[in-house]
Structure 1
Amino acid sequence: MRIALVAALVLSSGLAQADEGQWQPYQMPSIADKLAQRGIEIPAKQLADLTQYPMNAVVGLGYCTASFVSPQGLVVTNHHCAYRAIQYNSKTEHNYLEEGFLANTKAEEPSAGPNERLYITEAVTDVTKSVNANLSADPLTRYQDIQSNRKALIKECETDENYRCSVSSFHNGLEYYLIKQLIIRDVRLVYAPPESVGAFGGDIDNYEYPRHSGDFTFLRAYVGKDGKPAVYSEDNVPFEPKSYLKINADGVKAGDGVFAAGYPGATSRYRLTSELEFASDWMYPTYAKRYQLQIDTINSMAATDNAIAIKYAGNLASMANRMKKLNGLLDGFKATDIVGIKQTREDDFLAWLKKDTQANQNLITELESLLAEQQTQVQTDYYFNNAQSSALLSAAKKLYRLAKEKQLPDAEREQGFQERDMKMFAANLKRLERSFDVSVDKTLWLQDLNAYMGQNQRVEILDNALNQISDAQELSDKLDGYYALTGLTDKEKRLAWMEKDAEAFETSADPFIRLAVALHDTNMAQEKAEKTLKGKLSTARPEYMKAVIAYYKANDWPVYPDANRTLRITYGMVDGYQSRDALYKQPFTRLEGIVGKHTGEEPFNAPKKLLDAIATNDYGKHTVASVYQDPRSWICSLFSCLDKPEEFNSVPVNFLSSVDTTGGNSGSPVFNGKGELVGLNFDSTYEAITKDWFFNPTITRAVHVDFRYILWMMDKVDNAQNLINELELVRN
């Protein structure tokens, strides 16, 4: 039975994966036929052009995706993507996480925080030849040569300080692209529903379906009066984007073709089976255990201290999301034999490879040897790295590293410590003020130190720094002394260390500074070993990928790079699915489902004004009679349609589609076939979590906020008419 299942899924991965692919924009013309089959009418060449609508309205946040929706720089993204901005402006006297926030005028829009940025991708250029020019055969030197070539390209690109450039690796180093992005440095909070709407269902509903989450927030981009990006100032004016998205107020129906654009984080679809086994057997369970302990600890401390609850709200939400994903991955590996599927595909690849007389027959053996070395390295360093997890120690380490790097010419410094990085470096030090508490930091650090001391991979320099303490209470008392004697809890003192030389660190009496100095050489030796291994992999990985791509093309399977936080496009259709519990999940949810889930207790505690609007049937022009195709339409000749398509009569809240997304796609605009905005991506179904490793078209579904629900919230619940007036609404 297992063999039959694996064979069936491997076959389906080749033949039924019509919607698989996180495509680079330039690839759109090559899949124009597939887009047309899904009813995507907007020309593929237009999607490939980053200077044209709609791609020039899609922006990155550095960790999520967003999009411009008005000529006055109004931006929409997910509530959970704007969480830090909401948290930054929340205080005990006005907790916007709990109450929500709406600026009725632009003068009322507060800064989203010194770290918040919008990145507008304007150009993507193939620079593979330049990155791979004149590389050494020595692994460490080869790694350094690649980095030097990348930095040289970045320096040449960043002639204007308003642009941020990067060189990203695609296909594990087989290709490199230079990405040029305009940076908006003044981002402000405009409108956010309360968390009881934006995260309705909380962690219980995370990765689940049906969902009823209003996971949306509006921000605004500001620039100087000259139209150029500038840091926050009351004199700044709204940014005028080159284009902004039209919003289709009629939305989509089941069976409609859709596409999404965004910045997906990371996938591992071309990785070897041994890498999947390592993740499944060691990495994911180990990480999950630590995350759960941290979540339980912060929740316990936040329950009795509202200030802690606000400061750590963003961290807690992020960890809870990672925890749910890790559990989903582990459950998914058990429910579907992903390891078996990968191994069967890999065996077939090896058989194909043997037939190719030109191929390197030893490339898998060589790569496996390096991967085994890498996995040992990860396990060896894990507890030592965690033992340095204090936010203050992390700051001290980075500050000392900065002092050491500043002894070098700027071009030779490590990325993150060059002059181009100093504004963000300072912003990170400042942000600690709003997301740090001594008692929480100490408790979490103590947990990591105890875990370190309870295992065998000990590091002498750390043991010596801790005076080889073995008693838990003695260790706790020692840490109390660290926090009592440090000056790093003071923002101005933290920032002042940016200007000090290495000698000042080496003669400092600050306990965190002293510990950072003591650990520096060991950390640098560890980093050197990691770079040396990366240098070896920079030869082995591309050779492997070259063969894999040839194998995929021979089987007529889609070839696109694994996600790497660069701009991608994915397409699919609005569609439900047969879930793990044998129930068919309909593609749309309704307002009435919020009432059905409401308990009055977190996380199912919908606001009274929202419940009142539902109770009075105050749906207005946002009512949708049916979210299903007319049985007489062409789509129903291909897919089954309901006999009574008129029986919906509500406002759609969330909907499903088969677009191929992952973390980082949160906030991604979801378009109809004409390129009009119809929703925001915010999650995946639980069964689909394993798509980071293997895409199964039958169960892989993304979850989106329906823009009709957003408009209803703005109109009937929060009276955000000032923002509705900014939007360009169209109808079918």
Structure 2
Amino acid sequence: MRKALVAALMLSSGITIADEGQWQPYQMPSIADKLSERGIHIAAEQLADLTQYPMNAVVGLGYCTASFVSPQGLVVTNHHCAYQAIQYNSKKEHNYIETGFLAKKMSDEPSAGPNERLYITEAVTDVSAEVKTGLSDDPLKRFETIQANRKALIKQCESDENYRCSVRSFHNGLEYYLIKQLIIRDVRLVYAPPESVGAFGGDIDNYEYPRHSGDFTFLRAYVGKDGKPAAYSADNVPFTPKSYLKINRDGVKAGDGVFAAGYPGSTSRYRLTSELKFASDWLYPTLASRYQLRINTLEAMGEHDTDVAIKYAGTLLSMANRMKKYNGLLDGFKATDIAGIKQSREDDFSHWLANNSEYQHYQAKFDQLEALLIEQRAAQQRRYFFDNAQSSALLSAANQLYRLAKEQTKPDAEREEGYQTRDMKMFKARLKRIDSRFAVSVDKTLWLQDLNAYLAQAHRVAALDEMLNLNNSDIILADTLDKLYSSTSLTDPAKRLAWMNADVNAFETSRDPFIRLAVALYDTNMTQEQAQKTLAGKLSQARPDYMQAVIAYYKANDWPVYPDANGTLRITYGMVDGYQSRDALYKQPFTRLEGLAAKHTGVAPFNAPQKVLDAITAKRYGSHQVESVYQDPASWLCRLFSCLDKPESFGSVPVNFLSSVDTTGGNSGSPVFNGKGELIGLNFDSTYEAITKDWFFNPTITRAVHVDFRYILWMMDEVDHADNLLDELTLVSN
């Protein structure tokens, strides 16, 4: 508790928190002095310009980050970010998850899958005024007007079909920005290490340190012969990016300034204490419990069926990662008393409001927001089990298809997002993708678990109970589901896709059991959606009002002001640094090859490939193209640990390293740069103690974990002999 109080005092004392911030690129000139203090010498104005190096080489995957590293569209990201692409190309006869994959020539590079995309952000425009035009005091009308204004801006932006645009809310609706992104629709798998390298340590090491993970994979962007984005075709050619990253093969050492660029998914640093307590007391434990049950089921079923193991490998990896994060958040909340820290700041904020004549009236708005949040949490708890009771992949598809038929009766501009003409390519691709990660036995088992959880709670839905005869205590639910799956045509990909062209009447007269269930549940789902929209309309006024006062309070205390992460391009900076994880345990910033060998047990997840172990044992630290990187300790190994008493003792290849950059989910695959803007690593994880940074940034323990690019080069050169790819890279030295 004493530590929590000290931290709370620090937060309310006006001390600037070092390295905190997931900054919008345009903000970089405003923190140029901080970048310079960290030894980041690339011009802040250059980082703010999305048309210049290095920001025009940073791309999104829609869920992770990647970057161009060659003039021929070669892209590097994390292994776990490309996992679905690896799984998509894995079969019983060639399981690339286990063996890895390397295309020695471009003609051998297979499609990463119909859903894979690269998004290149070309413009970010403030459209706050346009989105807020004509807003009503009526909550539902207010919500609908915001959506209509957003869709109009998006439609205008997407006059060229090769672009995908979105309007994102910043500072909880205080600001809106229009994001314009070029879409690359033909993405191919180029080089992936085996899972025993890419995910060495598996879930045991997830969020832990020291780490020895080769979490990297190379993809390639392809376009039509005219240079424009196109769907996969054998005739397509590699994309020529506007720039690609230079790779510094000397890397970095402890104390060096670094920065990362990427697409962080979501943070909650401006959320209220009551929201944190709800997450801690109900939401995270509930989600973690469900994930654990599903993980146990998938692991058990995969042990007896290789096809199931391959199809659900990506799903299992994602679930395990989320579950460990939730558990880490819960542990972190207890260890640091973050609720107490946030409450202390809120109390200080209320005191500041009361003594600031310009903002005194915002206290009433603060109270109104708290009341709305109580309403929101109650609604979320009521919906939770019903939403999960629709978790079957086939029922989800049926729900979306029937909704599509309904939406297509409206003018395109009035349709719900996700069901407009602009969405149809991705809609179709998602329906196709179902089969690559679907097995009837698994889907049925997981759905049965969710239905049993639904039956065990009080918030029942009559339409669902009636359709599945859930009020009849004599029925065996598993038998009911067997009949549904045996009678549906939605397991047939062609028939499933054909429903995209069906009208409402075809759905409402269908005898397919999943279609019938979707039709029966539609009104309930729409009623709940309408209630959510009404509440969102209320929050769209209350949250911006609150944020306006909070930002003024932060500025008055000289604290960094940046928006919570929302999946848009951000830049974060810091330094290469270890940390004190607990009493008498300091974690050094670099790990090395010998540490990997020491962890090897021969049993997954600590089962390094023999060719990796052989190279380590023989101390084969490099050859030909990258020889100078590894075989001259005086030139770089000694510099690597200049802060230690015996730097020459490192004598190896660095594998992973730590820095204080401010990252979260979505930053996976983010390029990590040295002070000159040269690529030196890939972000892939955070330390366990740092998981709570989504709610609160603690500079003493918040560390991100990166793959050192020297390890990637070593794998390419000494282990897998990816000479063709090494020739594509531009390697520079200090």
Contact between 1:627 and 1:648, CA under 8 Å: does it hold in 2? Answer: no
Contact between 1:118 and 1:221, CA under 8 Å: does it hold in 2? Answer: yes
Distance 2:528 2:634 in 1: 60
1:4 is displaced (CA, Å) by 5.7
1:469 is displaced (CA, Å) by 4.3
What's the secondary structure of 2:169's corresponding residue? strand
Partner of 2:102: 102
Matched, 1:382 2:390: no
Distance 2:520 2:106 in 1: 50
Contact between 1:580 and 1:687, CA under 8 Å: does it hold in 2? Answer: no
1:138 is displaced (CA, Å) by 0.4
Distance 1:41 1:10 in 2: 33
Distance 1:28 1:679 in 2: 21
Letter in 2 for 1:612: D
Distance 2:340 2:516 in 1: 50
Distance 1:629 1:435 in 2: 44
Contact between 1:625 and 1:647, CA under 8 Å: does it hold in 2? Answer: no
What's the secondary structure of 1:32's corresponding residue? helix
Match of 1:606 among 604, 608, 615: 608
Distance 1:32 1:65 in 2: 24
Partner of 2:633: 625
Partner of 2:543: 541
1:5 is displaced (CA, Å) by 3.2
Partner of 1:362: 364
Match of 1:597 among 599, 623, 632: 599
Distance 2:508 2:104 in 1: 52
**% of aligned pairs identical?**
75
Which string of whole-angstrom CA distances, capped at 9 and with x for unpartnered residues, describes residues 544-581 of structure 1?
A: 00000000000000000000000000000000000035
Letter in 1 for 2:477: L
User: 1:505 and 1:350, CA in 2 relative to 1: closer, same or farther beyond 3 A?
Assistant: same
Equivalent residue runs for 1:417-566 within 5 Å: 417-471=419-473, 474-566=476-568
Partner of 1:192: 192
Contact between 1:258 and 1:573, CA under 8 Å: does it hold in 2? Answer: yes
What's the secondary structure of 1:298's corresponding residue? helix
Partner of 1:719: 721
Equivalent residue runs for 1:172-191 within 5 Å: 172-191=172-191
Contact between 2:256 and 2:674, CA under 8 Å: does it hold in 1? Answer: yes
Distance 1:159 1:203 in 2: 44
Distance 2:252 2:192 in 1: 24
Distance 1:474 1:711 in 2: 57
Partner of 1:675: 677
Letter in 1 for 2:354: K
Partner of 1:663: 665
Match of 1:405 among 404, 407, 412: 407
Which string of whole-angstrom CA distances, capped at 9 and with x for unpartnered residues, describes residues 583-612 of structure 1?
A: 000000000011100000000000011111
1:643 is displaced (CA, Å) by 2.1
Which string of whole-angstrom CA distances, capped at 9 and with x for unpartnered residues, describes residues 159-187 of structure 1?
A: 00000000000000000000000000000
User: 1:313 and 1:542, CA in 2 relative to 1: closer, same or farther beyond 3 A?
Assistant: same
Contact between 1:626 and 1:648, CA under 8 Å: does it hold in 2? Answer: no
Partner of 2:656: 654
Partner of 2:7: 8
Matched, 1:236 2:236: yes
Distance 1:196 1:11 in 2: 43
1:364 is displaced (CA, Å) by 1.5
Which string of whole-angstrom CA distances, capped at 9 and with x for unpartnered residues, describes residues 358-381 of structure 1?
A: 322211110000000000000000
Contact between 1:253 and 1:627, CA under 8 Å: does it hold in 2? Answer: no
What's the secondary structure of 1:303's corresponding residue? helix
1:461 is displaced (CA, Å) by 1.2
Contact between 1:254 and 1:629, CA under 8 Å: does it hold in 2? Answer: no
What's the secondary structure of 2:221's corresponding residue? strand
What's the secondary structure of 1:330's corresponding residue? helix
Letter in 1 for 2:689: E
Distance 2:300 2:517 in 1: 29
1:8 is displaced (CA, Å) by 3.2
What's the secondary structure of 2:107's corresponding residue? helix
User: 1:616 and 1:527, CA in 2 relative to 1: closer, same or farther beyond 3 A?
Assistant: same
Partner of 1:311: 311
Distance 1:369 1:625 in 2: 62
Which string of whole-angstrom CA distances, capped at 9 and with x for unpartnered residues, describes residues 239-269 of structure 1?
A: 0000000000000000000000000000000
Partner of 1:271: 271
Which string of whole-angstrom CA distances, capped at 9 and with x for unpartnered residues, describes residues 38-67 of structure 1?
A: 000100000000000000000000000000
What's the secondary structure of 1:646's corresponding residue? helix
1:90 is displaced (CA, Å) by 0.2
1:647 is displaced (CA, Å) by 1.9
1:3 is displaced (CA, Å) by 5.0
1:465 is displaced (CA, Å) by 1.1
Calculate the TM-score normalised by the size of structure 1.
Answer: 0.97
Matched, 1:116 2:124: no
User: 1:191 and 1:10, CA in 2 relative to 1: closer, same or farther beyond 3 A?
Assistant: farther
Partner of 2:211: 211
What's the secondary structure of 1:87's corresponding residue? helix
Distance 1:362 1:564 in 2: 27
Question: Once superposed, what is the RMSD of the aligned Cα atoms?
Answer: 1.5
1:703 is displaced (CA, Å) by 0.1
User: 1:561 and 1:626, CA in 2 relative to 1: closer, same or farther beyond 3 A?
Assistant: farther
Which string of whole-angstrom CA distances, capped at 9 and with x for unpartnered residues, describes residues 397-418 of structure 1?
A: 0000000000000000000000
What's the secondary structure of 2:261's corresponding residue? strand
Contact between 2:16 and 2:560, CA under 8 Å: does it hold in 1? Answer: no
1:7 is displaced (CA, Å) by 3.1
Letter in 2 for 1:598: H
Contact between 1:626 and 1:645, CA under 8 Å: does it hold in 2? Answer: no
Distance 2:67 2:255 in 1: 25
Contact between 2:225 and 2:235, CA under 8 Å: does it hold in 1? Answer: yes
Distance 1:47 1:5 in 2: 36
1:468 is displaced (CA, Å) by 2.7
Partner of 1:373: 375
1:16 is displaced (CA, Å) by 5.4
What's the secondary structure of 1:663's corresponding residue? coil
Kindly tell me the number of residue pairs found equivalent between the two proteins. Answer: 725
Partner of 2:262: 262
Distance 1:82 1:609 in 2: 23
User: 1:103 and 1:580, CA in 2 relative to 1: closer, same or farther beyond 3 A?
Assistant: same
User: 1:516 and 1:62, CA in 2 relative to 1: closer, same or farther beyond 3 A?
Assistant: same
User: 1:647 and 1:398, CA in 2 relative to 1: closer, same or farther beyond 3 A?
Assistant: same
Contact between 1:88 and 1:434, CA under 8 Å: does it hold in 2? Answer: yes
1:68 is displaced (CA, Å) by 0.0
Unaligned runs of 5+ residues in structure 2 are none
Distance 2:160 2:677 in 1: 32
Distance 1:720 1:582 in 2: 42
User: 1:244 and 1:355, CA in 2 relative to 1: closer, same or farther beyond 3 A?
Assistant: same
1:718 is displaced (CA, Å) by 0.3
Distance 2:635 2:414 in 1: 58
What's the secondary structure of 1:219's corresponding residue? strand
Which string of whole-angstrom CA distances, capped at 9 and with x for unpartnered residues, describes residues 594-634 of structure 1?
A: 11000000000000111111111100234273899989x9x
1:12 is displaced (CA, Å) by 5.6
Contact between 2:124 and 2:177, CA under 8 Å: does it hold in 1? Answer: yes
User: 1:592 and 1:626, CA in 2 relative to 1: closer, same or farther beyond 3 A?
Assistant: farther
Equivalent residue runs for 1:342-353 within 5 Å: 342-353=342-353
Matched, 1:300 2:315: no
Letter in 2 for 1:364: F
Equivalent residue runs for 1:573-584 within 5 Å: 573-580=575-582, 582-584=584-586
Contact between 2:16 and 2:558, CA under 8 Å: does it hold in 1? Answer: no
1:355 is displaced (CA, Å) by 1.1
Partner of 2:394: 392
Partner of 1:416: 418
Distance 1:276 1:627 in 2: 49
Contact between 2:72 and 2:238, CA under 8 Å: does it hold in 1? Answer: yes
